[in-house]
Structure 1
Amino acid sequence: MSAGAQKLREKMSVVESLLQFSSTGTLLGALLFLLVLYLLSSGSESQKEGKEPPGPKPLPLLGNLLTLDLTRPFDTFFELSKTYGNIFQVFLGPRRTVVLVGYKTVKEALVNHAEEFGDRDIVPGFRIMNDEHGIIFSNGENWKEMRRFAISNLRDLGMGKRGSEEKIIEEIQYLKGEFDKFEEKPFDTTRPVNYAVSNIISSIVYGSRFEYTDPRFTETVDRANENVRISGSISMLLYNIFPWLGPLLKDKRIIVKNMIQNREQVMKLIKTLQEALNPQDRRGFVDAFLIRKQNDLKSGKKDSYFHEENLMVSVANLFVAGTDTTGTTLRWGLMLMAKYPHIQDRVQEEIDRVIGGRQPVVEDRKKLPYTDAVIHETQRLANIVPLNLPHMTSCDVTFNGYFIKKGTTVVPLLTSVLKDPSEWEKPNSFYPEHFLNEKGQFVKRDAFMPFSAGRRVCLGESLARMELFLFFTSLLQSYRFTTPPGVSGDELDLKGVVGITLNPSPHKLCAIRRS
């Protein structure tokens, strides 16, 4: 008898004993039934396929949940890699998850094995918001069609080009007006920054910006940001593992309520745009989608992906992704300037010397190497999507000697790339010199991967890079950012608040007008 068969027999013996011991149909019986499933499913079957990645021994039902710091699972994963290596597995409840750690491993998987690691794992929390439609949380032909259409049309609409630059420069003036209202007193940058950044993607998606006083706009942005924050909570992590907990969870009810209200708002905006639709004059992404939908209907195309559900979810995907990540990074940048005033001094000296008092433009980037390095280092250290979004293997794959089954959840740990000690001189410090050579010139770094990589790389990367540069340089040109009176920079911590994205810890800044 093989060792694997012997182990399986021993497990079955334990199961039989437990079933004989349990004579009631109570919760204990249910737990024992689940234990049976666990014991049977964790046998030696997968060993027949090949060598599994190593990892901590899981408990029945709970897996490795007690091993993890659920408030910051990415930190635990980083620590576990020191024991188990750059490819290891953990069990989130009964579900196997493979974690990829470090720049070389993550790049090898996402770029060199893009097809095998290119699917999205659509956990229950994402499913209730997207239902496998749209751009981010879908797979197969639907995902290919939506992503291809989005990239093509957003490019045509000027995303990351001159048209976007003009929109951003216009929005910067509105944001400065909001900052000036605080009259150099301490304020929370969250809402004004998020509204400004959201208006950029709104102008591309809908064809127009919104006033910061428009409650339909501000409430939509606030609800979307709340959902991003709550989606990364412990309760939603547990919901993704044990969906039957859903009815008991307040966070899930908040997400559903916010989602319903935002869908109603989006439907009204789409209906207004549809009533004035002109195929010869596309105002934004929604127009382009509606025109394609009409053309498919006219041609009698069956099984078209251009239907209302994909439009609704795609708009929501673009709106959230185009607001939260860039807004969060920009807020980290302003906070870091207040925390490290000597770095802010060097940025402002360079801006004053190269640009003077005129409006910064994208072309200035190559003449501002230190400022560009500070922006890149902000993105690296802020580490705003530490876990990445979950991937899933599209087929059985043998990767670096380990066998990973089709349908396995994969976490390409971005925090381990952006803070890889073999790639960065000072991985846990704010050190703009990471992106400068000995002559003070800007240098690209291969391990700079805040937008992920491969098939699922952020499609808005060019727009985000443009926004960060223009907003950051324009605000640093006009304001000195400081901590409130009586608060030292040391009190601004770098741990952040964990959601789907990693936000700066709550803080206030003063925006002092520079003469």
Structure 2
Amino acid sequence: MELPSLFEVLVLFALFYVAFLTYNNLFCPKPSGKQLPPGLFPWPVVGNAPLLGSEPHKTFHELAEKYGPIYRIKLGSVKAIVLSDLKTIKQALVKQRQVFGGRMRFETYKYLQNGISNVFNDVSTQGEVWSKTKLEMLRHLHNLSTSTTVRKKMNDFITDDVIYMLKKLEITSETNFVNPEDIIRKAAANTLCTICFGKRYDYDDKDFCELLQANEVFSAVVSAGAMIDTMPWIRVFPKHRQILEAYKKAMKYRHKWALKLVEEIATSSTDKDLLEPKNVVTSMIKSNGNGKITTKYMDQIASICSEVFAAGQDTTPTAFNWIINYLLLYPNVMKRMKNDINEAVGDRLPTLFDRPKLPYIDAFIHETFRQSSILPISIPHATLKQTALCGYHIPQGIMVFVNQYSVNRDPNVWPDPEKFDPMRFLCKDESGGMTMNSEAVDKYLIFSMGLRKCPGLDLAKGWLFLATAILAQTCELMPDPAHPPSLDAIPGLTLRPRCLRLKLRINTLEVQKH
């Protein structure tokens, strides 16, 4: 067989290059007189998707070093921009929140909360209904996290859940080193069930386990730049078609589960229950005035509770896994926390109300947020109309990635960003004591900001503080020498520690007597 000549190869290459430029001019037009952000040249059909790899947050971080804090990419047929520094992100999500507060109209979003999702809809899809529902969600979560009476009750049931979790970890790790993720996930999920519905589940309950499995399906499908949405043609392949069908089934189950609990509470709640709401459902029923709610409103309550559960059930336990991972890596941190608790609290168990007296624990949790970047890329936004950002033209309907990982690793903000140092988040108060550095707290990014800021932020921080404080006061952690902890992460919608195995021992009697 005769090989092609060099001339023939060059001709083929030239033809391919011309076709490539033609594609770019036809499908990637630049608005006349308006400058788009710099960015990558997209390949036909797949765009820049193959370049992202298994850790897109790191790829985005590297591209920001080349193109700057705002640049454009293309995933399949979907055009997108990536925001990578705090100043640019604040300009977009806070100062221009009404423009950058949209969501993409992806296929997978249609199956969330029976189509009435607060997190995955916006004013362009649901109008004023979305705005009112969003405000209602924020109001009820705010009431639960700020009311002194409710906080006392929350403190009690979080403490119960944490103690049960620690006892469970002690039992399961008695004879061998274990990965604590499953137990931690179920403990955090039970707290969320109590917050939303006033109900706990046994760790082995079939419905409870199926619910947690549905949430894993959600996390696997709804991730940054998910192929199933940005390249819908991929569904012709059996594997991806099966993934989508499993996702639809899981989301239907999750909403049905929440709706059933709402209906049970609505039909069984007494006047006394509504007089002093103990969970999101009773709080929303009370706000309805006469306590009688329509089927449509029950569906709305179920949607809100389901989303609160789904959001917290992934991020909160993942954050606590990293907290344990760092305590295994830096045992001196745990010693300091234990000493601080002994001085500020004494022999009793810490409470949510002790948080101002234990700033080092708070600082440790925030440094864990910063360095682990548990949610490295926030769920994509979309522009609701064309606008300008940092001097660049931004079209309407473009997907917007917020690379929180880059914000948390910016050397201009965080000196030596790879170093784990809780002291970044501390400063001296007027009396010379240590307190949280509010300026530093405003510079890291995990829970997004603006219209899409995590509504359960205060609840998550409360759970993590109490769990960390009780763990530090009462327990001893032993890493697995065969699988030592590291900073390596398993990529996904959230980043999870890659090597997390331990033995846990409860050293004090306080937990046993609770």
* TM-score (norm: length of structure 2): 0.84
Aligned to 1:403: 393
Aligned to 1:3: none
Return closer, same or farther for 1:429/1:122 CA change in 2, 3 Å cut-off.
farther
Q: Which amino acid aligns with 2:358?
A: L
* Alignment equivalent of 1:94, drawn from 77, 80, 97: 77
Name the CA distance, whole Å, in 2 between partners of 1:310 and 1:255: 21
Q: Which amino acid aligns with 1:193?
A: I
Judge which range, 186-195 or 328-337, deviates more. 186-195
Give 1:68-467 correspondences, 5 Å limit.
Answer: 68-69=52-53, 71-130=54-113, 132-140=115-123, 141-158=128-145, 161-182=151-172, 184=174, 185-232=176-223, 237-246=226-235, 248=238, 249=240, 250-278=242-270, 281-282=273-274, 284-289=279-284, 306-307=296-297, 309-437=299-427, 440-444=434-438, 445=440, 446-467=442-463
In structure 2, the residue corresponding to 1:348 is in which secondary structure? helix
Q: Which amino acid aligns with 1:261?
A: Y
Deviations 1:171-194 (A, max 9, x none): 222223312322544222112211
Return closer, same or farther for 1:278/1:68 CA change in 2, 3 Å cut-off.
same
The alpha carbon displacement at 1:328 in A equals 0.8
Name the count of aligned residue pairs: 473
Q: Which amino acid aligns with 1:431?
A: D
The answer to whether the 8 Å contact 1:397/1:403 transfers is yes
The answer to whether the 8 Å contact 1:118/1:456 transfers is yes
Aligned to 2:494: 501
The alpha carbon displacement at 1:436 in A equals 2.4
* Alignment equivalent of 2:42, drawn from 48, 55, 58: 58
Unmatched tracts of structure 2, length 5 or more: 1-14, 509-514
* Alignment equivalent of 1:487, drawn from 463, 477, 482: 482
The answer to whether the 8 Å contact 2:138/2:455 transfers is yes
In structure 2, the residue corresponding to 1:90 is in which secondary structure? strand
The answer to whether the 8 Å contact 1:164/1:463 transfers is no
Name the CA distance, whole Å, in 2 between partners of 1:174 and 1:168: 10
Name the CA distance, whole Å, in 2 between partners of 1:311 and 1:410: 29
Name the CA distance, whole Å, in 1 between partners of 2:386 and 2:394: 6
Name the CA distance, whole Å, in 1 between partners of 2:50 and 2:320: 35
Return closer, same or farther for 1:229/1:466 CA change in 2, 3 Å cut-off.
same
The answer to whether the 8 Å contact 2:102/2:381 transfers is yes
The structure 1 segments of at least 4 consecutive aligned residues displaced by more than 6 Å after TM superposition are 35-38, 291-298
Return closer, same or farther for 1:296/1:259 CA change in 2, 3 Å cut-off.
same
Name the CA distance, whole Å, in 2 between partners of 1:86 and 1:158: 35
Return closer, same or farther for 1:310/1:242 CA change in 2, 3 Å cut-off.
farther
The answer to whether the 8 Å contact 1:103/1:417 transfers is yes
The alpha carbon displacement at 1:296 in A equals 11
The answer to whether the 8 Å contact 1:119/1:391 transfers is yes
The alpha carbon displacement at 1:132 in A equals 4.6
Q: Which amino acid aligns with 1:108?
A: Q
In structure 1, the residue corresponding to 2:37 is in which secondary structure? coil
Unmatched tracts of structure 1, length 5 or more: 1-13, 19-31, 299-303
The answer to whether the 8 Å contact 2:377/2:402 transfers is yes
CA RMSD of aligned residues (A): 2.9
Return closer, same or farther for 1:37/1:260 CA change in 2, 3 Å cut-off.
farther
Deviations 1:24-83 (A, max 9, x none): xxxxxxxx9xx9987533234x234x11001011122222123322x1111111111111
* TM-score (norm: length of structure 1): 0.84
Return closer, same or farther for 1:244/1:296 CA change in 2, 3 Å cut-off.
farther
In structure 2, the residue corresponding to 1:424 is in which secondary structure? coil
